[in-house]
Amino acid sequence: MGGWVEGDPAGDRRFVDLPALSLERGGRLPGVRVAYETWGTLAPGGGNAVLVEHALTGDSHVVGAVGPGHATPGWWAGLVGPGAPLDTERFFVVCANVLGGCQGTTGPSSNAPDDGPWGSRFPEITVGDQVRVEAALADALGVERWACVVGGSMGGMRALEWAVALPDRVATLFFLASGAVATADQIGTQTTQQAAIRADPRWRGGDFPLDDPPVDGLGVARRIAHLTYRSAFELGERFGTRVQDDGRFAVASYLDHHADKLARRFDAGSYVLLTEVMNTWDVGRGRGGVAAALSRVTARSLVAGVDSDRLYPLALQQEVADGLGVPLQVIESPYGHDGFLIETETVGSLMRDLLG
Q: φ, ψ for residue 67 (rounded to 5)?
A: 180, -175
For residue 172, list its beta bridge partners: 300
What is the predicted pLDDT for the residue at 115? 87
Q: Tell me the catalytic residues.
A: 153, 309, 337
Cα(206)–Cα(216) distance, integer angstroms: 14
- Under 8 Å between Cβ of 33 and 110: yes
Structural domains of the chain in order of their starting residue, each with its CATH number: 14-183+282-355 (3.40.50.1820), 186-277 (1.10.1740.110)
Contact 153, 339 (CB under 8 A): no
Query: How high is the pLDDT of residue 10?
Result: 95
What pLDDT is stored for residue 45 in this prediction? 83
Closest CA relative to residue 174, chosen from 320, 74, 345: 320
**How many of the other CB atoms lie within 10 Å of CB of 188?**
11
Q: For residue 266, give every residue at least 6 positions away whose Cβ sits within 8 Å of its Cβ, in sequence order, or none.
A: 2, 3, 57, 102, 218
CA distance 24 to 48: 30
Distance CA 110, CA 119 (A): 8
Give the CA radius of gyration of the chain. 19
Please give the torsion angle defined by the CA atoms of residues 258, 151, 121 and 193, in that order, rounded to the nearest 10 degrees.
-40
CB atoms within 10 A of CB 268: 30
Cα separation of 338 and 230, whole Å? 6
Whether the model clears a pTM of 0.95, i.e. scores above it, the answer is yes
pLDDT < 50 stretches in the chain? none
